[in-house]
């Protein structure tokens, strides 16, 4: 009995201890469950959602670029691309091997993808190929079970309506390079493009917009099940240009593959209606990705299709510079409109002979006649009397020698030389003979086609310092504002000085003995005035002068003269100014003047059409 009693007590104690242990364990378990389900419920709901829900950044639609009549020049179109997410793909190289059986991947593309895999975070999608067709999209979708981490993404791609015709104005967009990453998550999105040239670059932030977001539910393998929520981003701002798309296209097609530049602008507002550099390139190719062969073809072309000649081409202005020289002389008082100089075909300074373009000379000429006939001897004498400092000061008043601030990247300033510049750049003093050469727009003087158009506009508008612009509105941190309509400030030129120069330019085109008479506009209401220019790109030796100077057509292309023309129309009530530069085109009167005539005629025809029409009705959607 005693042993049974002891055994019962022992069993009872053990049972109580076991029950107590179970109670403690159950209490701990219940407490832990309460802590997890009640106290920490929000945290674990969030963690569960993070495993179930992916938050994705959505690229905003890039803002459109339209012309002065609100017609699209750059907009967006759908773009199907295949992307890979490294953390879902696990073995990226193996996945790429499988994918390459469906869409071709060059060794260069593979290296680029693997480089981005190392550089970017594992969950960031990386673009493999863009601009897929429906056949390629279907084949990838069918094979998705064997392509972990591979997705088809539908985005937007930039589309340039006119392509090469507007390339140097609009520029292009391209993929973000490593050095362009700023921490903005938008820049890391697959297929995201930023402006790399032209208007696309200058107004990139405004055109870019702000990103949206999408919440999608995924399964354990990371496949998207459904979209839970979507918040669209803010589209980029629409940029309206002063360019007339029809005129721009007309000029570009007119020039064809000629190495040339044309600028057309409003003489009062400074609005640039056309800015063409030829030959050009297709900006859509940069958006899609250039092949190595295409790139080498562009950079090896001697006519420099990638250079915007209108703002970055620097040329001696030749005789188109003579109006500025004439005004400098009148301003200094060394000549009057009636001052005559006899041209016998050349003039001497020391032992050096300076020739006129007309071998037999022009005889006695006053200022108006010297401009009409473009007499070099007259302007040699005028430059000698005026001096390089006065010529340079007047040139700067007309916009030469400095950037004009047009809203495009890459604008050059040209060069207005003087004694100080020459001592600093070359280390020798200025010579009087160099002043004579400057008087006919050659020597060290360099200008851009844009500067030549601005000079012409400032002459034609009565001496107002109009500045060129490419957009109808100003963009600033404060927002988008219209440009003020205030009249440009005066250059301080006496009206009678301007009048005699403008009459000379009128005679250049409309007088039977003018250098551009054969290129006149015959419609009375559209008649133009202007100034021809021919610039030598090689030195003509004394022996060649004695035996006969070779004609341009007998020379290699790169040794032919540049052909220039500046003008405005209508000459009795100026509205439009133009500059034309044809590289190695020959004579300004024979090559550049006819181009200017046809373009100014078309400019006025289009202006008359739009003046009587409702621009809203002509918008393209």
- Per-residue pLDDT tens over the stretch 188-200: 877 788 999 999 9
> What residue ranges in 502-543 does DSSP mark as E strands?
529-535
Report the alpha-carbon distance of residue 408 to residue 203 in Å, rounded. 9
Classify residue 409 as exposed, middle or buried by CB count within 10 Å of its CB (0-12, 13-18, 19+): middle
pLDDT at 36: 61
Instruction: Provide CB contacts within 8 A for 222, sequence distance 6+.
Output: 85, 88, 149
Strand, helix or coil for residue 305: coil
pLDDT at 546: 56
User: Please, are residues 345 and 360 in contact by the beta-carbon 8 Å criterion?
Assistant: yes
pLDDT at 57: 76
413 is known as an active-site residue: no
User: Please, are residues 532 and 515 in contact by the beta-carbon 8 Å criterion?
Assistant: yes
pLDDT at 311: 98
| pLDDT for residue 39 is more than 70 | no
Query: Which member of 175, 319, 374, 589 is catalytic?
Result: 319
Mean pLDDT of the region 565-587: 97
Share of the chain above pLDDT 90, in %: 60
pLDDT at 178: 81
Q: Which residue has the higher pLDDT, 583 or 619?
A: 583
User: How high does pLDDT run on average in the chain?
Assistant: 88
Report the alpha-carbon distance of residue 579 to residue 570 in Å, rounded. 15
pLDDT 10s digits, 98-117:
999 899 888 888 998 999 88
- Which range has the worst mean pLDDT, 80-89, 206-215, 301-310, 559-568? 206-215
pLDDT at 574: 97
For the record, the structure tokens of 269 come out as 């507002």
pLDDT 10s digits, 73-100:
999 988 888 999 888 888 899 999 999 9
Is it true that the peptide bond before 457 is cis, omega within 30 degrees of 0? no
For the record, the structure tokens of 105 come out as 């991947």
Closest CA to 172 of 189, 191, 154, 159: 159
| pLDDT for residue 406 is more than 90 | yes
| pLDDT for residue 166 is more than 90 | yes
Report the alpha-carbon distance of residue 5 to residue 9 in Å, rounded. 6
Q: Which residue has the higher pLDDT, 47 or 595?
A: 595
pLDDT at 11: 64
- Contacts of range 36-43, beta carbons closer than 8 Å, 24 or more positions apart: none
Instruction: Provide CB contacts within 8 A for 339, sequence distance 6+.
Output: 366, 367
Three-state SS annotation for 105-141 = CCHHHHHHHHHHHHHCCCCCCEEEECCCCHHHHHHHH
Q: What is the CA angle 180-468-475, rounded to 5?
A: 45
DSSP 306: T
pLDDT at 8: 62
Report the alpha-carbon distance of residue 330 to residue 496 in Å, rounded. 10
pLDDT at 473: 92
DSSP assignment of 369-433: HHHHHT-HHHHHHHHHHH-HHHHHHHHHHTTTTS----SSTT----B---HHHHHHHTSS---HH
Report the alpha-carbon distance of residue 312 to residue 411 in Å, rounded. 5
Mean pLDDT of the region 562-585: 97
Q: Which residue has the higher pLDDT, 479 or 261?
A: 261
pLDDT 10s digits, 113-146:
999 888 887 877 888 888 888 888 899 988 888 8
- Which range has the worst mean pLDDT, 233-237, 442-446, 552-556, 591-595? 552-556
> What pairing do the DSSP bridges indicate for beta strands 346-349 and 352-355?
antiparallel
pLDDT at 621: 37
Q: Which residue has the higher pLDDT, 45 or 132?
A: 132
- Which range has the worst mean pLDDT, 38-42, 174-178, 533-537, 538-542? 38-42
Highest mean pLDDT among 25-29, 89-93, 139-143, 244-248: 244-248
Matching residue, tokens 């508008």 = 461
Mean pLDDT of the region 3-15: 66
| pLDDT for residue 157 is more than 50 | yes
- Which range has the worst mean pLDDT, 4-13, 79-88, 110-119, 470-479? 4-13
> What residue ranges in 5-52 does DSSP mark as E strands?
none
At residue 240 the predicted structure's pLDDT band, cuts being 50, 70 and 90, is very high
pLDDT at 59: 81
> What pairing do the DSSP bridges indicate for beta strands 239-240 and 65-66?
parallel
pLDDT at 40: 60
Mean pLDDT of the region 492-517: 98
| pLDDT for residue 430 is more than 90 | yes
Q: What is the pTM of this model?
A: 0.84
Report the alpha-carbon distance of residue 451 to residue 433 in Å, rounded. 25
Q: Which residue has the higher pLDDT, 210 or 576?
A: 576
At residue 619 the predicted structure's pLDDT band, cuts being 50, 70 and 90, is very low
pLDDT at 615: 47
| pLDDT for residue 486 is more than 90 | no
Report the alpha-carbon distance of residue 155 to residue 78 in Å, rounded. 6
Report the alpha-carbon distance of residue 142 to residue 5 in Å, rounded. 78
- Which range has the worst mean pLDDT, 29-33, 230-234, 498-502? 29-33
């Amino acid at each position: 009995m005693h042993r049974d009693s002891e055994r019962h007590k022992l069993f009872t104690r053990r049972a109580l201890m076991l029950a107590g242990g179970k109670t403690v364990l159950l209490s701990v378990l219940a407490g832990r469950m309460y802590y997890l389900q009640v106290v920490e419920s929000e945290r674990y709901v969030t963690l569960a959602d993070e495993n179930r829900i992916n938050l994705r950044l959505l690229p905003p639609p890039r803002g459109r670029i339209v012309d002065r009549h609100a017609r699209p020049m750059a907009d967006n179109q759908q773009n199907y691309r295949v992307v890979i997410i490294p953390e879902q793909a696990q073995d990226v190289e193996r996945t790429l091997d499988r994918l390459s059986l469906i869409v071709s991947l060059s060794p260069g593309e593979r290296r680029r993808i693997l480089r981005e895999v190392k550089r970017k975070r594992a969950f960031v999608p990386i673009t493999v190929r863009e601009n897929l067709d429906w056949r390629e999209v279907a084949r990838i979708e069918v094979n998705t079970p064997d392509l972990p981490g591979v997705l088809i993404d539908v985005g937007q791609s930039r589309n340039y309506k006119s392509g090469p015709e507007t390339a140097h104005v609009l520029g292009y967009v391209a993929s973000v390079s490593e050095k362009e990453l700023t921490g903005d998550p938008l820049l890391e999105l697959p297929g995201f493009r930023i402006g790399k040239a032209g208007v696309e670059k200058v107004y990139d932030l405004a055109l870019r917009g702000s990103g949206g977001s999408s919440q999608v539910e995924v399964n354990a393998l990371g496949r998207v099940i459904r979209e839970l929520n979507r918040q669209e981003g803010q589209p980029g701002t629409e940029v309206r240009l002063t360019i007339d798309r029809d005129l721009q296209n007309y000029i570009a097609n007119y020039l064809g593959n000629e190495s040339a530049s044309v600028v057309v602008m409003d003489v009062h507002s400074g609005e640039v209606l056309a800015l063409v550099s030829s030959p050009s390139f297709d900006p859509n190719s940069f958006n899609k990705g250039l092949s190595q062969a295409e790139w080498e073809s562009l950079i090896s072309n001697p006519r420099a299709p990638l250079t915007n000649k209108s703002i970055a081409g620097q040329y001696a202005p030749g005789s188109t510079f003579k109006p500025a020289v004439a005004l400098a002389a009148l301003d200094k008082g060394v000549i009057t409109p009636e001052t005559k100089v006899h041209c016998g075909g050349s003039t001497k300074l020391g032992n050096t002979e300076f020739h006129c373009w007309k071998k037999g000379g022009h005889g006695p000429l006053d200022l108006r006649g010297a401009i009409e006939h473009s007499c070099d001897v007259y302007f040699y004498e005028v430059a000698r009397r005026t001096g390089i400092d006065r010529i340079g000061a007047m040139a700067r008043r007309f916009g030469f020698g400095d950037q004009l601030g047009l809203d495009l990247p890459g604008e050059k300033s040209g060069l207005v030389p003087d004694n100080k510049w020459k001592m600093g750049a070359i280390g020798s003093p200025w010579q009087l003979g160099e002043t004579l050469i400057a008087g006919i727009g050659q020597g060290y003087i360099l200008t851009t086609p844009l500067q030549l158009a601005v000079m012409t506009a400032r002459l034609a508008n009565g001496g107002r310092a109009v500045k060129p612009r490419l957009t109808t509105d100003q963009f600033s941190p404060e927002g988008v504002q219209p440009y003020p309509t205030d009249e440009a400030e005066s250059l301080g030129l006496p009206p009678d000085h301007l009048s005699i120069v403008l009459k000379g330019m009128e005679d250049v085109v409309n007088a039977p003995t003018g250098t551009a008479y054969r290129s006149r506009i015959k419609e009375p209401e559209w008649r133009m005035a202007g100034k021809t220019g021919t610039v030598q790109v090689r030195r003509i030796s004394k022996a060649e002068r004695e035996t006969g100077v070779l004609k341009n057509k007998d020379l290699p292309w790169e040794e032919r003269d540049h052909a220039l023309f500046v003008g405005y129309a209508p000459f009795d009530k100026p509205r439009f100014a133009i500059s034309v530069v044809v590289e190695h085109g020959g004579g300004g009167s024979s090559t550049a003047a006819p181009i200017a005539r046809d373009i100014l005629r078309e400019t006025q025809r289009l202006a008359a059409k739009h003046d009587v029409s409702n621009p809203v009705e002509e918008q393209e959607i």
